[in-house]
Amino acid sequence: MISDRELFPEELLAAAGLLQAPPEKNGLSFSAGRHRSPRGGSSSEFQDYRSYVPGDDLRRIDWNVYRRFRKLFLRRYREFPQKKHLVILDDSPSVRFTGERAALVWRLAALICGTLLMNGDHVALRPGTGAPCRSFAPGRSSAAPLIGELLAAWHRKTPGKAPDFQAPPNCRTWIISDFLDPEGLDHLEECFRRSRGFTPVRIFEKRELRPELAAESRFIDAESGSEVIVSPGAGALAAYAVRLRRFEQLLALPARRTGSAVYGFDVGLTVPELLRQCAAELFPGGRK
Amino acid sequence: MMVFQGLSPLAGAVACAVGTSVLIFLHFLKVRNPGLKIPSIMLWRESCVHPRRQVLWEKLARFLSFLPPFLFIFCLCGALTEPVWDRGGGRKLVIVTDASGFPAAVRLLEHADPLRSALVLASGGGVILSDFGAPRRPLLLPEKIVSDDADAVVALAERMAAPGGLVCWTGSKLPPWLPENSLFIRSGKKAVPKTPRKKVKIALPGASPRFSAAVALFPGVEVTEAPGKADLIFSLRANGTDISAEETAIEELWALLMRSGLLLPEAGQVGTGPAAPPVLPERRAVSLTVPLFLLAFTALAADILLWRKRKTV
């Protein structure tokens, strides 16, 4: 059993910004997001000037410029719109199959949520399908509730269901899952086609990509309990490879709709390796 | 007619029943695959999961999978009984012997067709020591030999050899009468001449003069009219009209004597024997042992192949 401290080690919380909140810099508060917008905003970060037109707010006129050029210019400031994100964790038995699989999902959720919150975005977290969705306001104040929510879901005794892959409008949806549907690839494809699109964050084990069969095996699905008997041989492995390829093509479908990529994380990654991969792939620009 | 030369049919049936029972018992005792729980079998099974249609073939296939191992056991047990399918035909040889002619009779029997030859001991009404198609085992002369009823023994031998079979009587005492197509080998006297000058005396009662003259031309052979002094007595058909049948019978018996070593051709005597090799009657019996072994191992191979094939995704 993985303890809470092992689940969320300090280096992971620090990387996610959940351990120590970054100082308020550039005069920005968490009431605003940190994504630049082409539209002018009301922040204190100067963007550019534009000519005055009747009706503009006189308080924005730069009188120093008027004194030098005898023309009226308005100072424009950057706008930092807040984005909304929905992070869905897969709490199904296939994810809970081993502690390492589940821990990776929870760590990824902490990293993604923490990074988004520290970027000034609103984050809603749904730990498993059917679980209540809890929203977190951007900023340091949400760190403790977020960790608490994740730990509560972690310690929940009854496993949840696999996500239904339905993404609400007006927010970016992240689904952290192994995307293994007990009802089969066809059902998964149907769900993906109905979905509005989301960013798939997939966890996998290396042996899932290159399985090896030494002897005849009777596999039992951890979620549905159905069985299949597999005999070693090129035929079975070739069929598996075909299905795996189709599965990976399916995963790209919802990602394309949101313009994102499919992120894959190996269950065998250590925490430092996970942080490195997250920094390189999920948030290549780092926290803003 | 099916003749079993190996295990008796009863022993084969028992072995088959035991083997089948063991197979069924082992089937129920078979260590089942304990199963390996994995996160999901989504990628292992067919992408389209429909409830399995229980078509007739699928129901039958489960039972058909038992067929090869059962066939293997049946064929193996059947092969061990060494069955021979006797389609009839051919000429039977019944060797009758008394105590003095027993070694010569055994030697004849060893060289005769197992399916077509039988050995009868001239004791009492006749004791069948080895029947047609019986497996060849070492034979010993019974200790208790009662005074023989020669008439009954000859009748038994004639009956056994019928139709068209040959009776070969070995012994020191001439039987009261010889059936048609029979040979008497006097065991009290040496059938094989020790000295080159001594000729084998052959009596041919009932043979045509032409045939007797032909036999008399054989080197080392002397045709005699007195059966009491003859070493070999060929009793041929009484009417003497069927020359070709006589010749065939003589050739068969002659070849048998040569093969068994009872009448060895020696230099200057029976050097050439019959001019042509003896034409033996076509053996119309088929041994099923090898085909059954082949079928058994084919069934075994099929079972292994099916076992490997049916354990697929």
Listed by number, the residues of chain A in 148-187 with a beta carbon closer than 8 Å to a beta carbon of chain B are 178, 180-186
Residue B61 one-letter amino acid: A
Whether the predicted pLDDT of A176 surpasses 60: yes
Whether the predicted pLDDT of B240 surpasses 70: no
Do A99 and A75 share a structural domain?
Answer: no
Q: Is B151 part of a structural domain of the chain?
A: yes
Q: Which residue of chain A comes nearest to B49, CA vs CA?
A: A184
Q: Which residue of chain A comes nearest to B308, CA vs CA?
A: A231
The domain total for chain A is 2
pLDDT in tens, B197-215: 567 788 887 777 777 777 7
Q: Is A179 part of a structural domain of the chain?
A: yes
Do A180 and A143 share a structural domain?
Answer: yes
Residue B82 pLDDT: 87
Do A153 and A56 share a structural domain?
Answer: no
Whether the predicted pLDDT of B66 surpasses 90: no
Residue B196 pLDDT: 54
Does residue A142 contact residue A44 with C-beta atoms inside 8 Å? no
State the average pLDDT over residues B43-55. Answer: 54
Contact A218 B36 (CB under 8 A): yes
Q: Is B33 part of a structural domain of the chain?
A: no
Do B248 and B110 share a structural domain?
Answer: yes
A229 CB within 8 Å of a chain B CB: yes
Do A164 and A66 share a structural domain?
Answer: no
Q: Give chain A positions within 8 Å (CB) of B37.
A: 97, 219-220, 222
Do B111 and B65 share a structural domain?
Answer: no
Q: Give chain A positions within 8 Å (CB) of B41.
A: 219-221, 226-228
Place A250 in a pLDDT band, splitting at 50, 70 and 90: very high
A237 CB within 8 Å of a chain B CB: no
Does residue B38 contact residue B252 with C-beta atoms inside 8 Å? no
Do A269 and A249 share a structural domain?
Answer: yes
A223 CB within 8 Å of a chain B CB: yes
Do B254 and B198 share a structural domain?
Answer: yes
Chain B interface mutation, best of A228, A245, A246, A250, highest count of B Cβ atoms under 10 Å? A228
Whether the predicted pLDDT of A175 surpasses 80: yes
Lowest-confidence segment of A92-106, A167-181, A211-225 by average pLDDT:
A211-225
B/e letters for B64-74, b = 16+ CB within 10 Å, e = fewer, are: eeeebbbbbbb
Q: Which long-range contacts (CB under 8 A, 24 or more apart) does A254-258 make?
A: A254/A165, A254/A167, A254/A192, A254/A195, A254/A197, A254/A198, A254/A199, A254/A200, A255/A197, A255/A198, A255/A199, A255/A200, A256/A197, A257/A195, A257/A196, A257/A197, A257/A198, A258/A172, A258/A173, A258/A197, A258/A198, A258/A199
State the average pLDDT over residues A52-65. Answer: 88
What length does chain B have?
Answer: 313
Do A119 and A69 share a structural domain?
Answer: no
State the average pLDDT over residues B294-302. Answer: 92
Q: For residue B124, give its domain range.
A: 90-282
How many Å separate Cα B281 from the centre of its chain?
A: 14
Q: Give chain B positions within 8 Å (CB) of A220.
A: 35-38, 41
- Percent of chain A whose pLDDT exceeds 90: 29
Residue A271 pLDDT: 92
ipTM: 0.73
Chain B interface mutation, best of A91, A101, A243, highest count of B Cβ atoms under 10 Å? A243
Q: Which of B169, B196, B205, B197 is nearest to B185 (CA)?
A: B169
Chain B interface mutation, best of A95, A100, A204, A218, highest count of B Cβ atoms under 10 Å? A218
Do B182 and B70 share a structural domain?
Answer: no
pLDDT in tens, B155-195: 888 888 777 778 888 887 788 888 877 888 877 554 455 55
Q: For residue A267, give its domain range.
A: 4-19+83-206+241-282
State the average pLDDT over residues A266-278. Answer: 92
Residue A175's CATH number: 3.40.50
The domain total for chain B is 2
Q: Is A129 part of a structural domain of the chain?
A: yes
A95 CB within 8 Å of a chain B CB: yes
Whether the predicted pLDDT of B48 surpasses 50: no
Residue A82 pLDDT: 63
pLDDT in tens, B109-144: 887 777 788 888 887 777 888 888 777 777 777 777
Do A142 and A56 share a structural domain?
Answer: no
Q: Which residue of chain A comes nearest to B41, CA vs CA?
A: A221
Q: Is A41 part of a structural domain of the chain?
A: yes
Q: Is A32 part of a structural domain of the chain?
A: no
Give A272 to chain B, closest Cα distance, Å: 25
* Residue from the list A185, A229, A247 with its beta carbon closest to the beta carbon of B311: A229
Q: Which residues contact B183 (CB under 8 A, 6 or more apart)?
A: B166, B167, B168, B169, B232, B233, B234, B235, B253
Chain A interface mutation, best of B30, B32, B33, B40, highest count of A Cβ atoms under 10 Å? B40
Place A158 in a pLDDT band, splitting at 50, 70 and 90: confident
State the average pLDDT over residues B291-300. Answer: 93
Do B161 and B302 share a structural domain?
Answer: no
